[in-house]
Structure 1
């Protein structure tokens, strides 16, 4: 028994030591039943377990799906790794990885319809279960959990909101598609969406549609559309000078 406690203590100390290294993501897997979700977790800068911190969930695009637990970090915006930003906005950063077979969201009848299934995909279900587990194991502020994603991750951001609207304090979906019929479920969540008006992958009309639906449902979403910008509008979005101030505002 004493040996087990000692080994556990050593493990915790090692994890905390790794967490203190700037930009170091812990590489882990979340297993539920027969399903596995690869993910990375970055501790707040100068982490103190006696304090509570926000959690930022980042959803990657289709170019990073798989099971290697490596690709998603390549698409993580530099804004979240900047040392000045990490010091000003200390938080946990969660980067899960979905698979091609189980992406963040599905649109079975697209482009005829943007309707989504009643049940989430396995990757989305596992991520929501993972967040619930992290909230128990780490000092995460319940009212400061944020979500952002690009392309497929932007679509996932909208879908996550529809599955768990009370979980997220704010959201930043970029160049995504959304089920407009579900807008009323998360119209109270603070949201700032982005899209380029020359996007040839996900037409800008889809973000225009969900923004209109949110407003019709009584929401007050913020929307920025970039003239002359194609699918990579996340470059512009994550460079917005007031983005993090907006995101971390209670």
Structure 2
């Protein structure tokens, strides 16, 4: 197994923009850094269990919250859904999982006039831009089923989830934003994408009204978005969302039409 992983890592990262340091494997996740010129982005990448390079696999982009920002390339896995990473989950949901780490002084999406106006900046934030670059690079190198690229995130990562959908509406087959704020003026752009959003009704960081507003706007544009609200739950609603029995079964059933 160690020999297989060593060959696999060399095959993917040698002579590639995806290399900044010798990649290692920690808790089944490849640990390395994306570099493009002077830009860098720490990230972790989980390969499917029983990986077969001749098969195509889905990929989940996982966006962490504000508390996990930094450069240690560790904290972004703190709330990673165990249903995707334990031995049973990896067999049931054979997929790649990409978990980039946003830099400490950045965010996945910026709302300059929040809370008066929910409009995001025209350009993506530096961490968001680098994540798109990384994802595009991986899509050209890994055996991915490009009809089944998914995204989820919580808190700041939930905000990023909606923003990433809006910036690349033809990329993701489904999304699960948790306890987020979003640019409701762009709801029409993502009204055809399968979305399942989650929020606690006692959230004391991102008010539940923001998810309610976005779901209302999506529905006005004909969206069939799902929404689950947890009574009595504060900001840590990801604990509920990522243990929903049907969430990932629903997500992996979604695919882009040819």
Query: What TM-score do you get using the length of structure 2 for normalisation?
Result: 0.89
Deviation of 1:81 after TM superposition, in Å, equals 0.9
Query: Structure 1 residue aligned with 2:73, among 69, 87, 107?
Result: 69
Q: Deviations over 1:61-119 (max 9, x none)?
A: 00100111111112212121121111011000000000232210111111111110111
Aligned to 1:36: 40
CA contact (8 A) 1:192 1:222 kept: yes
Aligned to 1:138: 142
Q: Distance in 2 between matches of 1:40 and 1:33?
A: 20
Shift in CA distance, 47/189, structure 1 to aligned 2, threshold 3 Å: same
2:225 equivalent to 1:230: no
Query: Structure 2 residue aligned with 1:125, among 124, 129, 140?
Result: 129
Query: What TM-score do you get using the length of structure 1 for normalisation?
Result: 0.91
Query: Structure 1 residue aligned with 2:7, among 8, 12, 25?
Result: 12
Shift in CA distance, 218/31, structure 1 to aligned 2, threshold 3 Å: same
Shift in CA distance, 13/170, structure 1 to aligned 2, threshold 3 Å: closer
Q: What's the RMSD between the two structures over aligned residues?
A: 1.9
- Which runs of no fewer than 5 residues in structure 1 stay unpaired? 1-8
Q: Distance in 1 between matches of 2:119 and 2:7?
A: 44
- Which runs of no fewer than 5 residues in structure 2 stay unpaired? 12-22
SS at match of 1:190: coil
CA contact (8 A) 1:23 1:42 kept: no
2:241 equivalent to 1:213: no
Aligned to 1:53: 57
Deviation of 1:28 after TM superposition, in Å, equals 1.2
Shift in CA distance, 50/195, structure 1 to aligned 2, threshold 3 Å: same
**Which stretch has the larger CA shift, 117-126 or 100-109?**
100-109
Aligned to 1:93: 97
CA contact (8 A) 1:23 1:81 kept: no
